[in-house]
Amino acid sequence: MQRLLDNKALWRGIAAIIIFVLIWEVGARSKDLFGWTMPFLGKLPAPSAVIAAWSHVIFEPGYWMSWIQSFKRVMAGFIVAMILGIPFGLTLAVNKYFRAVFFAPFEILRPIPPLAWVPASLIFWPTNEMSIAFVTFLGAFFTIVINVLGGARTIDVRHLRAAQSMGANQWHLFSRIILPGTLPSIVTGAAVGMGITWEVVLAAEMISGGGTRSGGGLGFFIWNSYIGGSLDQVVVGMISIGIAGYLSSSAIRRLGDYLMPWRRFF
Amino acid sequence: MHNSPQNINTTALNADSRDSKRGAASASGQSRVVLKNICRSFGDEWEREDVIKDLNLEIEPGRLTAIVGPSGCGKSTLVNLIAGFDRPDSGQILLNGSPVTGPGRDRMVVFQESALIPWQTAYQNVVFGPKLRGDLRGKALQDRANRLLERVGLSEFKHKYPLQLSGGMQRRAELARALINDPLLLIMDEPFRGLDAMSRELMQEFFLRLFEENRRTNLFVTSEIEEAIFLADRLVILSNKPAGVREIIDITLPRPRDLHMMSSPEAFAIKGRAMAILYEEAMRGFQDTATDRSAFLEAYAGRRG
């Protein structure tokens, strides 16, 4: 606890947020305070109004259901992308025949933005929920694969040679050298992929309109608030997403630190 | 260009089939490596360039053979061939009479810079080989690893990751990692490159003691002529690309050696002779372009004056 209180970076962060919120508050109330509307900030709901709306919303189960819905979708797409993407990327890096067959189609599909897949996947998949999961998966998959591939191909050949001299077989080379050597890139890919997944989920939720059976999610929460004309709630939804994204990516960072003790000294 | 007196000093080439086979010889780390007419070239068809051509050399058991040559002359290619990471286009490499067909624990390489595995601690790096093979385990392995780590002065640092070790410590950990495999031949590929002058000198002295203790057959590749003279029993000078054996100088400085011997007239004589040959070989690299050659001559003259 004492260490937390002594943490200067933490206090600077908190101070920065307070200052930022104060400027926002003053900007949003500029019409009442100075008689003229500050551009941009003047059109936003004030933080006090947002907090008021928030304190109202947190007692509604629908708000928390939206959190859970979006988290579920993000995790489903993300985890499937990890499960398929890591082996796919590693195989691309290690096996030249596999690379010859799959790399070109992969590179053609990769630049297609995940959102461009939405109409096609709505037609293709039987339920809305599956289409959203699929689009989310695509968002993370390509990023993870390209990171894993890049990471695996920069492995120091001397490590492979040293291991070979000491009697390593193919499995040893893979499990002791290639996999741990690629781990930093896997974590980077996961962190970036996680960010993209959040973007995609929310956009997909807005486009698909949530649907009655599939439930809203935070994206639909924002859209619904916008349709209902509640700008305060739109901002509540936006900040909720910011917090959710931050929680997800810091979880990945911590996991990365835990898995890679040798990198804590960089 | 190829009429330079290559290969004339090469020791008689006998595979020496009476030599004990690998297993029996491993206890003492004594082994003979014979390279016969090695050729290796790289590149596609019309651009194909010979890096090593008709190289003949015998690495004698229990001695430290240093290889020097102009930079980029193919020293690392030679290391890769002997270690088995690469195969010659033609010619034969024999280790105690049996042909080298791939990498193996009987020829351990200490790489340029450091090639410790970053995600393993010093201790984990050292036990890596025996654990992979499963030929040494439990208490016996622990004891052996700890003894070696103590021998290289890393007992207190054995649970540190390579990035937490200094350059000199990394080199010593790598030596321990190679030695635990009890190789017949220890190949050092410019092992002390990248160290500052002070650490380098300390490492040379440390390595010298280590070698003089058990005389494990050693091939030491370096670009520093003084380092080679200080450490080696035989100095092999390679010709410029394509590499072949240009000259072999026996270094008769007594053992155990110390740095004072480097200022003896004998050491100076060897250095002078080796430098003259190296200069000649370096000049061959500039023959194609006259401007390069004059620029080099100018720089060389400036350095002497």
Chain A nearest CA to B161, separation (Å)? 6
Asked whether residue A53 falls in the same domain as residue A161, the answer is yes
Q: Residue A116: which CATH number?
A: 1.10.3720.10
Is the CB of residue A262 less than 8 Å away from at least one CB of chain B?
Answer: yes
How far apart are alpha carbons B237 and B230 in whole angstroms?
15
Q: Are residues A35 and A153 in the same domain?
A: no
pLDDT of residue A31: 83
Q: Say what the ipTM of the complex is.
A: 0.79
pLDDT, tens only, A188-201: 999 989 988 988 88
A118 and A217, same domain (yes or no): yes
The residue of chain B nearest to residue A262, with distances taken between CA atoms, is: B119
Same domain assignment for residues A19 and A74: no
Q: Do A188 and A218 share a structural domain? A: yes
Q: Are residues A62 and A3 in the same domain?
A: no
Task: Tell whether A242 and A184 lie within a shared domain.
Answer: yes
Q: If you count residue pairs, one on A and one on B, with CB atoms under 8 Å apart, how many are there?
A: 65
Which backbone phi and psi does A263 adopt, to 5 degrees? -95, 0
Cα→Cα distances B100→A36, A141, B105, B106, B177, Å = 86, 44, 12, 10, 22
On whether any CB of chain B is under 8 Å from the CB of A179, the answer is: no
pLDDT of residue B159: 92
Alpha carbon B288 to its chain's center: 30
The answer on A131 and A11 residing in a single domain is no
Range of the domain at A181: 46-263
Q: In this structure, are A39 and A57 located in the same domain? A: no
Residues A212 and A124 in one domain: yes
Model pLDDT for residues B23-48, shown as the tens digit of each residue: 334 445 578 999 999 999 988 877 88
pLDDT band of residue B10 (cuts 50, 70, 90) is very low
Chain B nearest-CA distance from A262, in A, is 5
Place B273 in a pLDDT band, splitting at 50, 70 and 90: very high
What the block records as the tokens of B298 is 């100018």
State how far residue B94 is from chain A, nearest Cα, in angstroms: 17
DSSP structure string for A106-137: HHHHTTS-GGGGHHHHHHHSSSHHHHHHHHHH
How many structural domains does chain A have? 2
* More confidently predicted of B12 and A92: A92
pLDDT number for residue A99: 93
CA–CA distance, B54 with B81 (Å, rounded to integer): 14
Contacts of B108 in chain A (CB under 8 A): 165-166
CB < 8 Å to B103, chain A: 161, 164-165
Q: Do A26 and A53 fall within a single domain? A: no
Question: CB of B66 within 8 A of CB of B228?
Answer: yes
CB of B114 closer than 8 Å to CB of B164: no
Same domain, A163 and A129: yes
Instruction: Report the 3 state secondary structure along B107-144.
Output: EEEECCCCCCCCCCCHHHHHHHHHHHHCCCCHHHHHHH
CB < 8 Å to A161, chain B: 83, 85, 103, 109, 111, 115
pLDDT digits (tens, 9 = 90+) for A115-167: 888 888 888 988 888 888 898 899 999 999 999 999 998 899 999 999 999 99
